[in-house]
């Protein structure tokens, strides 16, 4: 473990000792990652008692699946409700799933609409499926879709856009490395470089940045073809 990671973990432990809810959740996650689910649940419970929405959501998952605690559907729903009241989108979505499991689709839809308006991806997909099966009206689905998009747009910031650009740059750089490696193999062994071509394809960015990169790639091939002529 790097020194910075050790320092970060020590910092969380110290903050958790004075009942910092976010630190308690993070220490719980660290225990969970090490396989100590019971201690994770204990930290989540402390944070939930202090009103942390994420802790309530984590506990709902623990009680549903019996991770570090006994399965308990009532406690699952209780913690989902507490997290949802505090504006946790995934908890609201999962409440909809609970209602769907119990055959109360109308209530499920109401939860998914609220969660979609908070920007929850799973909820808008659930509503899309309901609309396809005529469970949700066109007007309600369109309204939820607008609310979902507004929530997504509201999360955009210069910092987030900068991080996205940095990630795209990393992917592009990686793909160039794959291409350079493929050319090296072609010069050494002949052929098309097999796995490196697959690697470049695998690392091609998805929708949003892929079109521009594909155009660049095509332009690069055209330039190489001209130079060979």
State pLDDT tens for residues 46-66: 999 999 999 999 999 999 999
39-51: average pLDDT: 96
Query: What integer pLDDT is reported at residue 5 of this predicted model?
Result: 82
pLDDT bracket for residue 192 (50, 70, 90): very low
**Rounded Cα–Cα distance for residues 58 and 80 (Å):** 9
- On the question of pLDDT at 12 being above 70, the answer is yes
Query: What integer pLDDT is reported at residue 102 of this predicted model?
Result: 93
- On the question of pLDDT at 217 being above 50, the answer is no
Query: What integer pLDDT is reported at residue 159 of this predicted model?
Result: 58
66-94: average pLDDT: 95
Query: What integer pLDDT is reported at residue 158 of this predicted model?
Result: 64
- On the question of pLDDT at 153 being above 70, the answer is yes
- On the question of pLDDT at 212 being above 70, the answer is no
pTM of the predicted model as reported, rounded to 2 decimal places = 0.65
- On the question of pLDDT at 84 being above 60, the answer is yes
Which of the residue ranges 69-73, 103-107, 134-138, 157-161 would you say has the lowest mean pLDDT?
Answer: 157-161
């Amino acid at each position: 473990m790097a020194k910075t990671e050790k320092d970060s973990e020590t910092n969380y432990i110290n903050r958790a000792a004075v009942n910092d809810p976010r630190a308690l959740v993070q220490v719980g996650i660290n225990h969970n990652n090490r396989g100590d689910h019971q201690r994770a649940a204990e930290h989540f419970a402390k944070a939930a008692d202090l009103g942390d929405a994420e802790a309530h959501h984590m506990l709902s998952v623990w009680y549903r699946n019996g991770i570090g605690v006994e399965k308990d559907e009532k406690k699952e729903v209780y913690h989902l409700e507490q997290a949802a009241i505090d504006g946790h989108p995934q908890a609201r979505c999962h409440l909809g799933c609970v209602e769907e499991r119990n055959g109360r689709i109308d209530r499920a839809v109401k939860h998914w609409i609220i969660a979609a308006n908070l920007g929850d991806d799973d909820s808008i997909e659930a509503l899309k499926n309901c609309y396809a099966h005529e469970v949700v009206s066109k007007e309600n689905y369109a309204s939820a879709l607008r609310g979902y998009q507004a929530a997504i747009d509201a999360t955009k910031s210069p910092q987030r856009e900068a991080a996205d650009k940095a990630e795209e740059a990393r992917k592009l750089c990686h793909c160039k490395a794959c291409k350079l490696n493929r050319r090296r193999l072609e010069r050494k062994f002949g052929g098309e470089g097999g796995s490196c071509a697959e690697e470049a394809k695998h690392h091609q960015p998805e929708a949003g940045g892929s079109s521009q990169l594909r155009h660049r790639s095509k332009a690069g091939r055209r330039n190489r073809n001209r130079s060979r002529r």
